[in-house]
Structure 1
Amino acid sequence: MRLICAVLPLLVLAGCSSFQAAPEKVTAVPSERMLAYQQPVEGSGLIVVNRDLGMLGGGCYVAVLVDRQVAARIGIGEEARLHVPPGNRVVGIGIDRADDTLCGKGRLRRELVVPVVAGESQHLRILSEAKSGFDIRVATP
């Protein structure tokens, strides 16, 4: 009985962490939630942002920011493809201010600098962990 009491909370917390979706399970963010950087322009690079699957924050959209401007509202298991000018871009995640539920009332700001090169792609991943909450990281193959 003691073992069950010790292990059960760990299993519950592990269940709140996210996991990468298989490529065939990822869907594109619908066009009405893609707010910027949709048209390829001469010399642009591509930033691909995937959001993990998981229960933590599963009912909420997360705002994807490029140079601190909202570019997309992304849900779990979705992918946003952003055509951005070359150079160092500040890519981050934040609270979706368009959400009028409790999801839009919190605080969230995570950012990283992404070097964008014309004609090349950078892949990022939004994950959620029970211990640290949401984060955005460079995707590893």
Structure 2
Amino acid sequence: MANRQVLAHLQNSLYALEVQCSLSTQMELNPETKALPGLRDVDKHNYESSYHRTTAIGCLRRILAGERHPDVMGIMIRCMLEAEEHDVETGRAMDRMLRSATTRTAEQWVRTAKRWQEQQLVHLREAIVLARSLVGESMWEYAKKLEY
């Protein structure tokens, strides 16, 4: 049951990322937002964060289906941690965008995207906390050291 809670948080996090990605991509078309410093960084980190989230979800689905290989669990954990790092960087880039916004419209766009970004990070962190309590410290440390 607890693994399903991790999955629910990851899915909610992915949903928020999907909406945030759609907003930030649309900002590339908006004359008031397309040149904001940080927008390219948002795209770069969204790309990485999307990859790591979907990989973590795929690993968790395999675990829920009975997979027991330690690498699968390790990859899941490592991907959640990688996604978290990119989410933090996305938030920093959005803060730069917000500081540089010169119109009310640009500010509203960035604030809306930032709210979704914050939700993706909140749900991801909930998944991380739950997963850590489920796997134990030795698996957690193993996963942090994985290189792929």
Range into which the TM-score falls when normalised by the shorter chain? under 0.3
Question: What TM-score, normalized by structure 1, do the two folds share?
Answer: 0.24
TM (normalized to structure 2)?
A: 0.23
Higher strand content, 1 or 2: 1
Bigger helix fraction:
2
